[in-house]
Amino acid sequence: MTASDEDTGGTEAAGEVRRTKVEAYAVVAHPPRPDLQALVGLAAQICDVEGAEISLVAGSVRQVAGIGPSAGSGEVAFRDARDLVAPDGVVIGTLCVWDTSPHVLTADQRGALGVLVDIVVDALELGLRSRLLEETVAQLTAAREELRQLQVETRAFAEQVSHDLRNPLTSVSMSLQMLEDQPSLAADQNAAWMVARALSGARQLESLIERLLSSATGSSGHSRS
């Protein structure tokens, strides 16, 4: 079976699977890739024929690399087409060699053509994987930049909150300390206890603010001077 016609795809669902797979390779309707051009050139040279081409099926047969005159431009006396089979078993196209003169491939030439078919599929898969890897790297880079920006914003927010809370808290603490030092406070145990409790709470709150600020600045890779 060859993939030179959409009817060879079987069911409509199978044709859609093949079309999706071929489109993912991103070679149809693009300039021929140098590696694929090199492979068709090698196929023609090994088989000692006038032309060779790689065609993929994405709704219709599309040539993605070729060398020599088109197989449809004149009378073809010899033609040998081999299926290109993706790793999941889907036939995605053909590697074809032809000549306008009668030609018979030797056993070695047929064997080499079979090897080239596998190399073509490997080249398509490698291009796909490389592109997917590049996209993943780009996504990770973008996510990393977003995280860095979030950390910067978190640090700035923590510093602002710390400033807004620390200034009035410092004033409260200083007032409580001044009150604590008043001789008259010693004569009133309840008042002294309340002032001491308030001062302890202020110190605890200041310590909490410092820990929160240290946590925020530490998460963004900075240390507080």
Strand order in the sheet with 78-85: 61-67, 51-57, 91-99, 78-85
d(CA 195, CA 178): 10
d(CA 47, CA 24): 30
pLDDT tens digits, residue range 168-213? 777 777 777 777 777 766 667 777 777 777 778 777 777 777 777 7
Best CATH choice for the domain 6-138 from the list 3.30.450.40, 3.40.228.10, 1.10.760.10, 3.40.190.10: 3.30.450.40
* Model pLDDT, residue 217: 65
Local structure of residue 98 (DSSP, 8 states): E
d(CA 214, CA 222): 9
Q: What is the mean pLDDT of residues 4-18?
A: 64
Residue 180 vs residues 150, 186, 190, 193: alpha-carbon distances, Å: 43, 8, 12, 10
pLDDT tens digits, residue range 23-80? 989 899 889 999 999 999 999 999 999 999 999 998 888 999 999 876 656 688 999 9
* Model pLDDT, residue 153: 80
* Model pLDDT, residue 178: 72
